[in-house]
């Protein structure tokens, strides 16, 4: 993804404005955006500022406070630089965490490694000013965001950082030790590794079809595999739809390589783009630092990059090339420690 596409995805998942440092951290942690720059936060902040200044009301982003960005489709007000009240609010938000990061901090610092009810987690986070929100039901927001993070991590075959113990009680997965959850995570890692190896053995046409299926699953419309005799280096074309509002024409090139993709391929990709198209290169390997720098060159058409790890993670999340099985497991708890 490009930097701005990654920002859209992070904000859509969060459902509320975030500071650009938080956005950067989530985008990098989730593998949505890659950069070799030494100051990724400054790069992301600058790109959003330029987009808002250049496109105005057409920009998909809105600055709600100094350093805080949201999505324009939410209908939230823009920051007024000379408002004292907004300045005070912005200073508070500068210090705030996301709901899920605040929840982790509250649970970790509780010290006894016992689950807490999401209302208690929210109250402690508010008392310590770890979160800042104008919503009337912050505890509902807290539970919804924790639940969404757990669901998304499981869909990707990863171990979530939170465990839902039922009846509203939340704990940290690291408290579970190297038991069943750890074994499941290791098993899923092996499956993703094997899936990545199998991608090198299937027919090239089948591989392109799998990629087109994945693109459709993650939000592309009008996905079409390009005939080999007329592809000009482009394997798949489609339209990336964001929030049912933003539509971006994308040209996709897929590479089943074991060696890293380098900068010249990114340059060639740009030369193959049609009018008003952006590029996406998907590889089963990875990208050199030069390729990443070239893809992010500010004076050129954006080219998003998806490496092999990101590819198989998304395939697992959307059950492409893998099947998902679930089992209900009972665990004995101490009767005198059952949550009220």
Tens of pLDDT, residue by residue over 192-247, are 889 999 998 888 888 989 999 999 999 899 999 988 756 567 999 999 988 778 88
Q: What is the pTM of this model?
A: 0.52
Please determine, for residue 339, whether its predicted confidence score (pLDDT) is greater than 50: no
Cα-Cα end-to-end distance for the chain: 45
Fold match between 1-93 and 204-317? no
Domain boundaries, the chain: 1-93, 96-176, 204-317
d(CA 198, CA 209): 15
CATH topology of domain 204-317: Trna Endonuclease; Chain: A, domain 1 (3.40.1350)
Strand ranges for 155-243 from DSSP E: 162-166, 169-172, 220-225, 236-242
pLDDT band at 82 (very low <50, low <70, confident <90, very high): very low
- H or E element at residue 259: none
CATH topology of domain 1-93: Arc Repressor Mutant, subunit A (1.10.10)
Among residues 200, 280, 269, the alpha carbon closest in space to that of 237 is found at 280
């Amino acid at each position: 993804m490009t930097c701005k596409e990654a920002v859209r995805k992070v904000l859509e998942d969060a459902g509320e404005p975030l500071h650009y440092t938080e956005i950067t951290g989530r985008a990098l942690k989730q593998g949505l955006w890659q950069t070799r720059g030494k100051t990724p936060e400054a790069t992301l902040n600058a790109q959003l500022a330029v987009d808002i200044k250049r496109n105005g009301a057409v920009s998909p982003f809105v600055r709600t406070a100094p350093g805080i960005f949201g999505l324009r489709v939410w209908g939230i007000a823009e920051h007024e630089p000379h408002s004292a009240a907004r300045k005070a609010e912005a200073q508070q938000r500068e210090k705030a965490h996301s709901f899920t990061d605040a929840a982790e901090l509250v649970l970790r610092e509780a010290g006894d490694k016992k689950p807490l009810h999401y209302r208690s987690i929210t109250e402690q986070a508010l008392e310590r000013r770890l979160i800042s929100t104008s919503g009337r039901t912050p505890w509902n927001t807290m539970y919804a965001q924790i639940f969404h993070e757990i669901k998304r991590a499981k869909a990707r075959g990863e171990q979530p950082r939170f465990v839902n113990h039922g009846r509203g009680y939340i704990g940290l997965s690291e408290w579970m030790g190297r038991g069943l959850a750890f074994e499941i995570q290791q098993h899923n890692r092996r499956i993703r590794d094997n899936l990545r190896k199998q991608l090198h053995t299937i027919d090239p046409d089948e591989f392109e079809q799998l990629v087109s299926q994945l693109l459709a699953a993650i939000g592309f419309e009008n996905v079409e595999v390009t005939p080999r005799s007329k592809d000009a280096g482009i394997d798949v074309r489609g339209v990336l739809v964001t929030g049912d509002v933003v539509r971006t024409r994308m040209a996709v090139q897929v590479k089943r390589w074991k060696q890293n993709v380098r900068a010249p391929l990114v340059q060639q990709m740009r030369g193959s783009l049609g009018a008003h198209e952006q590029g996406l290169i998907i590889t089963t390997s990875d990208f050199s630092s030069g390729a990443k720098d070239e893809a992010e060159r500010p004076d050129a058409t954006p080219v998003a990059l998806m490496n092999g790890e990101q590819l198989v993670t998304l395939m697992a999340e959307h059950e492409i090339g893998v099947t998902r099985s679930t089992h209900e497991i009972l665990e004995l708890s101490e009767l005198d420690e059952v949550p009220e």
